[in-house]
Amino acid sequence: MANEEQFNLIKQGVEKWNQWREDNADIKPDLSECDLRQANLQKANLSYTNLNKSKLQFSNMTGANLKETSLKKAKLQEANLQSANLQNANLSGAGMFEINLQYADLENANLQGAQFSEDVLFNQTNIKGANLSGTTGLSSSQLDLAITDKNTKLPDYLEEEIDDDFLMQM
């Protein structure tokens, strides 16, 4: 369960939150299971925060720092994570329908079992080394817009699709 003080602090706004984070750099905040729907968390420092099972639908996290944040089973429907830093974040089992991930950095993120939709925006999203195995709802055309590398683990159904495309070229 979330830390009540920290939850009340983030509701006071990003400026106060970021100042508190700066003053308390050694604390790993716990906002698990919080209701942050429609929150303006633009440029918030949420690095190393526990946001497991949080409700973040319709929230604006543009440019937020979510490095090494745990968002297991979080609800992120229609959230804006454009240009957010999600390096090494754990998004396993998260609901990510109609989410904006354009220009976000998901390098080495764990997205295992996350649920996506065809409306997810992946334009210039860095998913190098990310684990997308077991995800649902993604298409190869979406991922064609993302930045991948040989360490990116795609869902089985997309790896098969890519293999088929390769065979058709021969």
- Are residues 98 and 78 in contact, defined by beta-carbon separation less than 8 angstroms? yes
Q: Which pLDDT belongs to residue 159? A: 64
Residue 39 corresponds to which amino acid?
Answer: A
> How confident is the model over 11-52, as pLDDT tens digits?
999 999 999 999 999 999 999 999 999 999 999 999 999 999
Closest CA to 10 of 64, 77, 58, 53: 64
Residue 158 pLDDT grade (very low, low, confident, very high; cuts 50, 70, 90): confident
Label residue 160 exposed, middle or buried (CB < 10 Å: 0-12, 13-18, 19+): exposed
Q: Which one-letter DSSP state was computed for residue 116?
A: E
pLDDT given for residue 160 in this prediction: 57
Q: Decide which of 166 and 101 is more confident.
A: 101
For each of the domains in the chain, give its residue range(s) and CATH number, in order of start. 1-170 (2.160.20)
Residue 96 has pLDDT above 80, yes or no: yes
The answer on pLDDT for 113 being more than 50 is: yes
Is-contact 151 131, C-beta < 8 A?
Answer: no
**Model confidence over 98-112: pLDDT tens digits?**
999 999 999 999 999
Amino acid at 91: L
Q: What confidence tens digit (pLDDT) does each residue in 141-157 have?
A: 999 999 999 999 999 88
- Residue listed under structure tokens 């918030």: 44
